[in-house]
Structure 1
Amino acid sequence: MKLNRLFNDAKPIEIKEFMTDSRLQLKNSLFFCLKGMVHDGHKFITQAVNNGAVAVVYSDDIDFIDGVEYIKVDNVIFELNRTAAIFFHNPSSKLNMIGVTGTNGKSTIAKTIKELYSLWKPCGYSGTISIEYGVNKEKPDFTTDETVPTLKMLRRMLKANMEACALEVSSQGLDQHRVDALKFDVTIFTNLTHDHLDYHGNLENYYQAKKRLFSLIKPKGCAIINIDDPYGARLFNEINSRKYSYSIYEEADYQAKDIVLSPLTTKFTLIVQEKTYQLETNFVSEFNLSNLLAIIAALHQSGFSIDDIASHLHQLPQVDGRMEVIQEGQNFNVIVDYAHTPDGFEKIYQFAESITSPNNKIISVFGSAGKRDSKKRPILGSISDKYCQMIINFEYFLFIVLL
C-alpha cells in the first residue's frame, strides 16, 4: 500500500509492513514511535531504519536520517490505530465481533461463546487460554495483544472462513488502546473487583479503562451488562448504546430465578422478554450461572434463538482451569479454577461451602505467583482461612478438594 493512502501529504512510498518494535527486521515498513511504560520509540528510530523502516511516524523532536520519510502527528497511537485499520482492510468490519471485559469470567464467557457459536457458524476465539480458529490453535502472548498482531490475527481468521470472533479484552489492553482499530457487534461487561491495581492505581481508573470498550460498538451493535455488579449497574446507566442487562438477583433483560445448585449441575428458570425457560446446565456455581447468562444474551443478540441455545446447555464443554470439575471415580469433589482475586476466592469458596456437608472439609491449594498486585495476597490468605479447614500454598491455580 502506498504511504499517501494512509497520510494524504506523504510521498507515494510503498509500505509492506507496520513496525512498532524496532528490533524486528521488516523491509519497507512504516515505523511508529510509540511511548510505552518503559521505552520510547523515538529513541529507536535508527535501529528501526537499519531493520527496514522507510518511513517514520513521530510526535516529539527528533534527528532526521537522509532517505527516510517522516510524518509528524499529535498522537502516534491514534494514528497507528487509524492507519492500521486501513492497511489491514478493517477485518473487524467483516466479522461478528464479540468483546468480553471484566475482572472475572472473561475466559469462560468468550471460550464458551466460541464453542456454542461454532455449532451453527464458524467462530474464532482469542484470549488468555489460546487463539483458536477452525483447526488452528495458537499460544497467545497476551490476553489482549497489541494493535498490529490483533489485526493480523483477525485476518487469519477471515482467511480460515470464520464469521465471528469472541475476544477477551483486558483493562490494560483497553488503557493502551490496543483494540481501538476494532469495532464490536456485542460487548460484555462481567464485573469489576480488586485486581490490577498495581497498574491502574485505583478502582476508578480500572473502571474507566473497562468502560472504553463500550465506545467501540458498531452502529447496530449492543452492550450486555451484569447489573448485579455495582460497576455494571453504573455502566448500564452511563452508556447510550443499545444495551441489555443480565442478573440473578434483579429484574433484567436476561434473568435467572429459582436456582438449584449441586456439585455437577445447576437448574434454573430463565426469563427473557417475559418468556420462561426451565433449564439445566453442567455449569456449576452461582457466579458461573451469571457467566452463562452473558453467553446466552450474546448468542441471542447474535441471531440465535433461545430454544436452540438452551438445547446445548446441559453438556457444555469445560473450559480449562475455569470451574473445571475433575471426575476420576473418587468419592470427593475436585474443582480447578483460575480464581486469583479476592472476589473470585470468595465466590468459589461460597460455592464449595454450599455443596459440602458439615462433617466434610474444604481443602484449598493456591498461590499468588509473580510480582503483580502483591497487596491482594494477605486478603486471599484471609479469605481462604475463613472458609477452609486446610490451606496449602502452591502456584497459579486454585484447587479445592471437598472431603
Structure 2
Amino acid sequence: MELWQLMKDIGFDNQVNKELDIQIKGITDISSNVREGYLFIAIRGGQVNGHDLIEQAVQLGACAVVGEEDRESETIPYIKVENSRKALGHIARHYYGNPSKQKVVIGITGTNGKTTTSYLVRHILEESGISCSLVGTIHNIINGEVVEAVNTTPNSLVLNELLLKSNDQVVIMEASSHGLAQFRLEGIEFDFCVFTNLTHDHLDYHGSIENYFQAKRSLFDKIKPGGKALVNTDDAWGEKLITLLQEKEVVTYSVGQSNRNDLRILDFVTVENPSLLVKEVQETVTINVPMVGIHNLYNSAMAYAVAKQLPIETEHIVQSILRFPGVEGRFEVLKQKNGSIVVIDYAHTADAIFYCLKAARDSGANRVVHLFGFRGNRDLTKREEMIKVTAEMSDGYILTMDDLNSLPMDEMVKTYKSLNTNYGNHKGEIIPDRTLAIKQAMEHSKPNDWIVITGKGHEKYEQDFKLPTTSDMETVKYINNEL
C-alpha cells in the first residue's frame, strides 16, 4: 500500500505531498520493530518519546516517519501531523482495510462492571451460536484462542491487527478511560456502545470527574451510522450521557428503574436467589442471576439489553445468564472448611467496595472482614472515601499491600496509619505482607464469616511476600491446604 493511501483523513504539511507515493510494507510505533520499508509513527509516551528514536528507526529500514514534533531535516520523508496517536489510528485502519466495519463491534465502558458485562455478553452470544472475540482486562480471546492482555484497551494498531485476525462474527471490547483519552480506539467503529456507570476513579490521570466522564463519553462518538448507545440511566452520569446523545440524535436504548426507560427494571431480589424483573414494551421477564450483589444484577441487565439487540430469543438469553460461570477475580466465592467464606474481587473504588461488602451482608454474613490496600502513586483522592466505606460496612478490616509501584513500603505504611486514624474509626489493623494478612484473616475466621479481599482480583502480585504464592487465589488455596 502506498503512503498517500494511508494518510487519508489526516492533517499534515502539504509540502510533502509529492513524497507520498512510497510503497509501505508495514507500520509500527515501536522503533525496535521497524523493518525495511516500514512506516514509523513517532509517539510521545509517558516514559519514552518516539521522536527520540527516529534515527534508530531509520537505521532499521524505515522508509518514512510520521510525527508531531518539528524536525529540521530527515534522510527520509517526515510527515508532521497534529496528533501522532490519532494519526496511528487512521493509518492502521486504512492499512488493515478498516476491519471494524466488517464485523459487529460492541464497546463497553464505565468505572465498574466492564469485565463482567463483557464476559456475560460473550457467554450469551456463544451459547446462541454466535462466535465472539473479546478484548479486555483479563485477556483477549480471538477465534477461541486466549491471548494475554497488556492493557485493558490495546493501542489502535494492535486493535486493528486483532480485528483483522478475528474470524468471529462479533467483537466485544472493554474501553478504558485511559485508552479513550490516549486515542487507542481512534479509527474503530462500533455497532453498540454500552455505559455501565461512572464513579470516582483515575482522577490522578484525568484531573477531574468531568474530564473522566468526557473520556468515557468519547466512545459514543465512534458509533457507526445506524448503531446504538445502551446506557444505565440509574447512574447520574448515565442520565447526563443519554441526554447529550439524544441532543446529537444518536439512537439510544436506556436501562433503569424509571418508566421512561426502554428496558425498565421493575424489581430486584438480592438475597438467596438473586434476580431482577424487567419490562420491555409489553414483555415482562424475570432474570435469575447466578452472582450475588446488586452490582451484578445491573451487569446482567446491561448484558440482557445488549443481547436483545441481536437475533437471540428472550428465553435463550435468560437461560444463558443463569448458566454463566462467572469471571476470574470478579466476586469469586470460595467456601472454607470451617464454614467461612472468602471472596476475591477486583474492586478498587469506594463504590465497588460498597457493593462487594453489601453483597456479603445481604448474603447473611455473620461478620464481614475486608482486606485491601492502595496502589503506590495512584489516585490519592479516592483513598479517604474507600476507608470510610469499609469502616462503615465491615466489622473489621486489614490494610495491606497492593502494587507499590515505585513507592517505598514504609511510606505506604505511614499513609495507612494516618488513614486508619483519621477516617477508619480505628477499626482496622495494618499487616503489610499481603499473604500473611490473608492468612491471619482466614485463621481467625468462624462459620459464616465473610472475608472480602479486594483490589487485585485476577492480577498477579508485583512484589514478593512471605508465602510462595503469586495471586490472592493462589494464597487462599495455599493456606487452605495448611489449615
TM-score by length of 2: 0.77
The 5-angstrom pairing of residues 13-32 of structure 1 reads 13-32=22-41
Deviates more, 1:327-336 or 1:119-128: 327-336
Query: Which secondary structure state, in structure 1, belongs to the residue aligned with residue 218 of structure 2?
Result: helix
Deviates more, 1:68-77 or 1:195-204: 68-77
Between Structure 1 and Structure 2, which shows a larger proportion of helix residues?
Answer: 2
In structure 2, the partner of 1:253 is 262
> 1:353 is matched with which residue: 361, 379, 398?
361
> 2:306 is matched with which residue: 290, 298, 322?
298
Query: Which secondary structure state, in structure 2, belongs to the residue aligned with residue 131 of structure 1?
Result: strand
- Structure 1 residues 297 and 330, CA, compared in 2 at 3 Å: closer, same or farther? farther
In structure 2, the partner of 1:6 is 6
Distance 1:345 1:212 in 2: 27
Query: Which secondary structure state, in structure 2, belongs to the residue aligned with residue 311 of structure 1?
Result: helix
Q: Does the CA contact (< 8 Å) of 2:108 and 2:114 recur in 1?
A: yes
Deviates more, 1:231-240 or 1:361-370: 361-370
State the Cα distance separating 1:330 from its structure 2 match: 5.7
Q: Does the CA contact (< 8 Å) of 2:133 and 2:144 recur in 1?
A: no
State the Cα distance separating 1:21 from its structure 2 match: 1.9
Is 1:61 the counterpart of 2:70? The answer is: yes
Is 1:391 the counterpart of 2:400? The answer is: no
Q: Does the CA contact (< 8 Å) of 1:19 and 1:53 recur in 2?
A: no
Distance 2:277 2:117 in 1: 20
- Structure 1 residues 25 and 6, CA, compared in 2 at 3 Å: closer, same or farther? closer
User: Where does structure 1 lack aligned partners over 5 or more consecutive residues?
Assistant: none
Matching residue's letter, 1:362: V
> 1:181 is matched with which residue: 184, 187, 193?
187
State the Cα distance separating 1:395 from its structure 2 match: 4.5
> 2:171 is matched with which residue: 159, 162, 165?
165
Query: Which secondary structure state, in structure 1, belongs to the residue aligned with residue 33 of structure 2?
Result: coil
User: Where does structure 2 lack aligned partners over 5 or more consecutive residues?
Assistant: 9-16, 403-433, 450-483
- Structure 1 residues 395 and 304, CA, compared in 2 at 3 Å: closer, same or farther? farther
TM-score by length of 1: 0.92
State, as a whole percentage, how many aligned pairs show the same letter.
Answer: 32
> 2:145 is matched with which residue: 120, 125, 136?
136
- Structure 1 residues 256 and 395, CA, compared in 2 at 3 Å: closer, same or farther? farther
| CA deviation vs aligned residue, 1:22-49 (integer Å, no higher than 9, x gap) | 2334332111222333443333211221
Is 1:193 the counterpart of 2:204? The answer is: no
* Structure of higher CA gyration radius: 2
Matching residue's letter, 2:199: T
Q: Does the CA contact (< 8 Å) of 2:67 and 2:84 recur in 1?
A: yes
In structure 2, the partner of 1:213 is 219
State the Cα distance separating 1:92 from its structure 2 match: 0.7
Matching residue's letter, 1:283: M
Deviates more, 1:51-60 or 1:391-400: 391-400
| CA deviation vs aligned residue, 1:57-111 (integer Å, no higher than 9, x gap) | 1333213232x12223333333322221110111111111010000000110112
State the Cα distance separating 1:367 from its structure 2 match: 1.9
Matching residue's letter, 1:60: E
The 5-angstrom pairing of residues 229-308 of structure 1 reads 229-239=235-245, 240-248=249-257, 251-263=260-272, 265-308=273-316
Count matched residues: 396
> 1:153 is matched with which residue: 162, 176, 180?
162
Distance 2:322 2:85 in 1: 45
> 2:136 is matched with which residue: 113, 119, 127?
127
Q: Does the CA contact (< 8 Å) of 2:34 and 2:40 recur in 1?
A: no
Q: Does the CA contact (< 8 Å) of 1:253 and 1:273 recur in 2?
A: yes
Q: Does the CA contact (< 8 Å) of 1:88 and 1:155 recur in 2?
A: yes
Q: Does the CA contact (< 8 Å) of 1:255 and 1:293 recur in 2?
A: no
